[in-house]
Structure 1
């Protein structure tokens, strides 16, 4: 009889642990609920109307629950763009500022498409192109400014796979051009 009682206690303890674990998971996922639009306000980021494409293409294509963006450049609030080559015309810090502005440009297009950034489930993949001199080897450091902003806005959902490459030239002499793939709610 003692044996069955002990086994019953162990079973109850295990079930209780499983229940607590599931409850913690639910609470954890609720703790992850972030109002991304509010987060932008908290970070003093103002999204603007997306700039028009430079040629015959669209800025966003949606396939199922994935959004693919065209390459975006570093749009300044006044409508101009950061131009030049990092390692020549621009410093590393200026390249990082260009990457951050490009992130804001992408968020502007994403918000225009979705109407609500809270529909973002995850930033999946990012391709960052940095117009730089052949000697400049810190493209990942430039792109960190972009990645850091995605994590600041989206938390864990902002962490993504990424490539950061140097280019000898970019459209309209942009300092950076970035495209990304985003998973959104259906």
Structure 2
């Protein structure tokens, strides 16, 4: 019986040591390949649109990447436009937020090269172009947050703000910025 317990303890120790080692891509055992996950979801990240003023889409400092506000870029290069509560439904706003997430991921990939380097989506700031009596801002921004979790799993869960705005540039329905932690 003592030998059986000793074998069990040694096996458990070996398993815990080998299970905690990452592979050459920096991913830990059990992590999903983010690029493969995007393919499974049918998402293709195109080239991010260039900034339209004197700013950059992303700034990296140490192991944090700060992404500028992104809008809902359609695959054809145009933007979703409209105001929640008058022009767009909550569901259309959620789809716009999802498109914004895809746009942000394209900029993030351009900045860091490989989305598997993401350790955590830390913070999301979602702004919703809404009529004064519209109150479902958080429901709209769920389109962004839900995609982050679909893509990154637990690493995609983040702190968040979802606020209403009287207007946004070009009458886009959402503008979203985020902060991401990446591996060193």
CA distance in 2, matches of 1:21, 1:165: 46
Q: What are the Cα deviations for residues 55-107 of structure 1, in whole angstroms up to 9, with x where unaligned?
A: 11001000000000110000000000011101111111110010000000000
Residue 26 of structure 1 is matched in structure 2 by 20
TM-score of the superposition, structure 1-length normalised? 0.86
How much does 1:134 deviate? 0.8
Residue 61 of structure 2 is matched in structure 1 by 63
How much does 1:52 deviate? 1.3
Residue 117 of structure 1 is matched in structure 2 by 115
CA distance in 2, matches of 1:35, 1:138: 33
Output aligned runs, 1:76-115, within 5 Å.
76-115=74-113
Residue 3 of structure 1 is matched in structure 2 by none
Q: 16-25 or 171-180: which moved more? A: 16-25
CA distance in 2, matches of 1:114, 1:26: 24
Residue 24 of structure 2 is matched in structure 1 by none
How much does 1:22 deviate? 4.0
Structure (1 or 2) with the larger CA radius of gyration: 1
Structure 1 segments of 4 or more deviating over 6 A? Answer: 15-18
Give the alignment partner of residue 46 of structure 1, picking from 23, 44, 47. 44
CA distance in 2, matches of 1:164, 1:17: 48
How much does 1:128 deviate? 0.4
2:134 is aligned with 1:136: yes
Residue 168 of structure 2 is matched in structure 1 by 170
Q: What are the Cα deviations for residues 41-61 of structure 1, in whole angstroms up to 9, with x where unaligned?
A: 000001111011121100100
CA distance in 1, matches of 2:77, 2:47: 10
CA distance in 1, matches of 2:146, 2:18: 28
Cα-Cα RMSD: 2.4
When the two structures are aligned, how many residues end up with a matched partner?
Answer: 177
Residue 5 of structure 1 is matched in structure 2 by none
How much does 1:140 deviate? 0.4
Residue 145 of structure 1 is matched in structure 2 by 143
CA distance in 2, matches of 1:18, 1:140: 44
How much does 1:30 deviate? 1.0
Residue 127 of structure 1 is matched in structure 2 by 125
How much does 1:17 deviate? 10
